[in-house]
Amino acid sequence: MLFALALLAAGQTPFPTRIGQCQWVRGGFYVANGSGINRLWVRGTKHVLNLHDGDERVPPAIRRFWSGRPFGNRLWGEFYVCALARYVPGHMQRVHILRTRRTLVTAR
């Protein structure tokens, strides 16, 4: 939480806010029921990013995660995301995940 607050104080957000903006975010990727099942919670915030359900162009770490037990696990790490929608407080934001690094799968 302190990391996110420090970024906000410096005028940066821990996630992209404009369409087309790309940056690394830290958080946990998980699969949930409902609309937008592929979600990425941004560490230190309440903000959730959403990977389009039909997006097949994902990094290998996410593909491996999907082939395991995605509903029972979470993929932690750093994700390079590009915003496909602008940031709206209180709403999931659609993104494209281009790369991952330092990933680890844990049970929920």
User: Average of pLDDT values for 6-34?
Assistant: 85
**Alpha helices of the chain — where are they, by DSSP H?**
2-9, 60-67
The one-letter amino acid code at 61 reads A
Q: What is the pLDDT of residue 9?
A: 47
pLDDT tens for each residue of 29-42: 999 998 889 999 99
Domain boundaries, the chain: 2-107
Positive or negative, the CA dihedral 58, 28, 50, 102 is negative
64 vs 12, more confident: 64
- Is the pLDDT at 1 greater than 60? The verdict is no
Q: Using DSSP bridges, classify how beta strands 22-31 and 93-107 pair: parallel, antiparallel or unpaired.
A: unpaired
- Is the pLDDT at 17 greater than 80? The verdict is yes
| Distance (Å, whole) CA 88 – CA 106 | 29
Positive or negative, the CA dihedral 84, 85, 89, 92 is negative
Say whether 61 sits in a helix, a strand or coil.
helix
91 Cβ neighbours under 8 A, 6+ residues apart: none
| Distance (Å, whole) CA 72 – CA 66 | 11
User: Average of pLDDT values for 18-30?
Assistant: 98
| Distance (Å, whole) CA 82 – CA 97 | 7
pLDDT tens for each residue of 39-97: 999 999 999 999 988 888 999 999 999 999 999 999 999 999 999 999 999 999 999 99
- Given pLDDT bands bounded at 50, 70 and 90, which one contains residue 11? low
